[in-house]
Amino acid sequence: MSVVGKKFILGASDFDKIMKSNARIVDKTLFIKEFMEDSAEVVCILRPRRFGKSTNLNMLKSFLSIGSDPIRFKEYLIFKEKNFMDQHCGKYPVVFLDLKDIKGDNWDEMLHEISRFVRKLVASFFTVLNSNMFPSDQLVFDSLTSLTPDTALVKTALSFLIEQLSNISEQRVIVLVDEYDSPLNHAFQNGFYDKASSFFGTFYSSALKGNSALEKACLVGIVQVKGAGILSGLNNFRVYNVAKERYSAFFGFTKEEIECFIPDEETLDQVLNWYNGYWIGSKQMLNPWSFISWVVDKEFSSYWVETATVEKDFSTLLHGQKQLFTEIFYIIYNGDPLDVSSLNSAVKYSETEWSIDGILHFLVHAGYLTYHKGLNGMGEVFIPNKELHLHWKVDIFPFIKKKLSSKFSVPLQKAFTAETFEATELQKLMSELIVYPSFHDTAFEISYHNFFYGIFLGVLQDEKSVQVKSNKESGDGRYDVKVEFQNLKRVFIFEFKKSGDEDSLEIDAKKALQQIIDKKYSHGSTNYECHLIGVSFFKKKMSNFEVKTIYP
């Protein structure tokens, strides 16, 4: 581990400026060597926001660009790699694209922004290219740098630039793309994804597929965009998401890297509790933005979440989403990891409604959740730290509840709070809920217990007057789900059974109720109207309720 410089500068990502100002930085320069020695020609690295993606990409540019002075890196770890320094430092023409500002309320506006971006990009190489091109290439150059460039030429502008730079320098070109997925995400939010994906499909493939003038390319972003030709079919292309081991040490800070900034063990524990907990491969990492903010301010607060827009992210996530996916969020929020088989699926913006796989992929890579694969081969998704847990509580759940009020929300509330409780009404609603597609997903199967626990949390929970609890000790055991209406002085205690076949449903429901009674799960609720409910399930079939009501 190595730290260079005197003082952290919050938000600094321009590596040349960091070096000139002697700003403090955790040395990640060995990322350069790792990237250049990767056998993949085109690399796409996915990390949450504010995890050092832009800084690392700028570092690649600073190191690899023609004319870069190796002596500038004498204080960094990479300088010890003499053979690598001699072979690669300052040797390549580099094209750097930062796409974060490519936006627009419609496709015409975005295309205008793309054309303006391309015009500035191509014009930045004017001195190098202008006097060294063939007449036909000069015409293309002139069009791309004009106020009204030809759209067909804009689509292949990156390919054109790579070819020209390679011809002039007699060296293959490095391409670096920051926030490659940002324009596509924005287009999806604003309803013109198909047009944007068609454009960028050509833009990337013409430049990165089978291009003999290309040395290597590194794209960084939040999510892997799949479908519509985006990065599909590229030669020797590899995606490194947060579950992959390669590059895991280079984005975010490890505990060992930040210990030298912490005055004592107690403060270190607090820092880790607030900002650690993100798993990248087999390494547990701190959010670098949040940690540096803490170093600068010396105050524990939610820093990273100030850079993320809940409405933007979750509007994207829930676009067209009418199924009951909220149960997942509430299970996770309660502190229970959600088992998933893998994190290999990508976001498919072309789909009307996302699968649970797609939702989890988005939330993990955006930084709202983290993913860790255990020794048993199964993975878990959960909230990484205190900073994010507070964010879920204060900002995310209120937004989700407002956005995703399903057709069941009001009927469920009425069924629980009616002046006289009618078990048949609640039974009917619950039997309808388990046939919803969100209940079973290809990646995992939620237990009946967790499914209804999540729904009840999402629909009923009110910290002031309604408490929804699960697996808490009561009497001589642990109940499955308890819903307590404090103002109404009414309690519901559920025991869920999973039957081996449809014929056993009613028998198992009776057993479930008897378990509530025998284990005295209603202990402590003597001043409440208690409804004890046993119910059993087989696949998407549900038994009748077995109910016993105890009045105070």
355 plus 261 within the same structural domain: yes
- pTM value is 0.83
pLDDT tens figures, 451-474: 888 788 878 887 789 999 887 766
Q: Do residues 362 and 317 make contact, with C-beta atoms less than 8 angstroms apart?
A: yes
Question: Considering 240, 268, 302, which residue would you say is the last residue of a domain?
Answer: 240
List of residues 6+ apart from 299 with CB closer than 8 A:
none
Higher pLDDT, 315 or 294: 294
Q: Residue 444: what are its φ and ψ, rounded to 5°?
A: -160, 170
In 23-76, at which residue ranges do the beta strands (DSSP E only) sit? 25-26, 42-46
pLDDT for the residue 432: 87
**Of 47-56, 124-133, 151-160, 338-347, where does mean pLDDT reach its minimum?**
338-347
Mean pLDDT for the stretch of residues 375-391: 86
Run of H or E residues at 257: helix 255-258
* Cα 395 to Cα 239, 402, 416, distances in angstroms: 31, 11, 27
Q: Is the confidence at residue 439, as pLDDT, over 60? A: no
Banded pLDDT at 142 (limits 50, 70, 90) = confident
Per-residue b/e over 118-135, b at no fewer than 16 CB within 10 Å? Answer: bbebbeebeeebeeebee
Q: Do residues 284 and 368 make contact, with C-beta atoms less than 8 angstroms apart?
A: no
List of residues 6+ apart from 434 with CB closer than 8 A:
448, 451, 537, 540, 542
What percentage of the chain reaches a pLDDT higher than 90? 54
324 plus 428 within the same structural domain: no
172 plus 266 within the same structural domain: no
**Of 62-71, 102-111, 296-305, where does mean pLDDT reach its minimum?**
296-305
Per-residue b/e over 490-510, b at no fewer than 16 CB within 10 Å? Answer: bbbbbbbbebeeeebbeebbe
Q: Is the confidence at residue 364, as pLDDT, over 70? A: yes
310 plus 264 within the same structural domain: yes
Residue positions counted in the chain: 552
CA 240 and chain centroid, separation: 13
368 plus 480 within the same structural domain: no
Count of H helices and E strands in the chain? 23, 20
- Residue 169: domain span: 3-240
Is there a domain that residue 259 lies in? yes
177 plus 38 within the same structural domain: yes
Banded pLDDT at 180 (limits 50, 70, 90) = very high
For 170, the token pair is 């007699």
349 plus 327 within the same structural domain: yes
Is there a domain that residue 249 lies in? no
Is there a domain that residue 13 lies in? yes
Question: Considering 240, 265, 298, which residue would you say is the last residue of a domain?
Answer: 240
453 plus 510 within the same structural domain: yes
Whole-angstrom Cα distance, residue 466 to residue 462? Answer: 5
Token look-up 């690392």 returns 56
181 plus 166 within the same structural domain: yes
Q: Is the confidence at residue 346, as pLDDT, over 80? A: no
272 plus 214 within the same structural domain: no
Banded pLDDT at 445 (limits 50, 70, 90) = very low
For 335, the token pair is 């502190």
Question: Domain count of the chain?
Answer: 3
Q: Residue 63: what are its φ and ψ, rounded to 5°?
A: -80, -45
Q: Is the confidence at residue 51, as pLDDT, over 90? A: yes
Is there a domain that residue 246 lies in? no
Q: Is the confidence at residue 322, as pLDDT, over 50? A: no
**Of 65-74, 277-286, 288-297, 357-366, where does mean pLDDT reach its minimum?**
357-366
Banded pLDDT at 320 (limits 50, 70, 90) = low
Average pLDDT score, the chain: 86
188 plus 292 within the same structural domain: no
Is there a domain that residue 247 lies in? no
Kindly report the CATH number assigned to the domain that includes residue 168.
Answer: 3.40.50
389 plus 469 within the same structural domain: no
Is there a domain that residue 307 lies in? yes
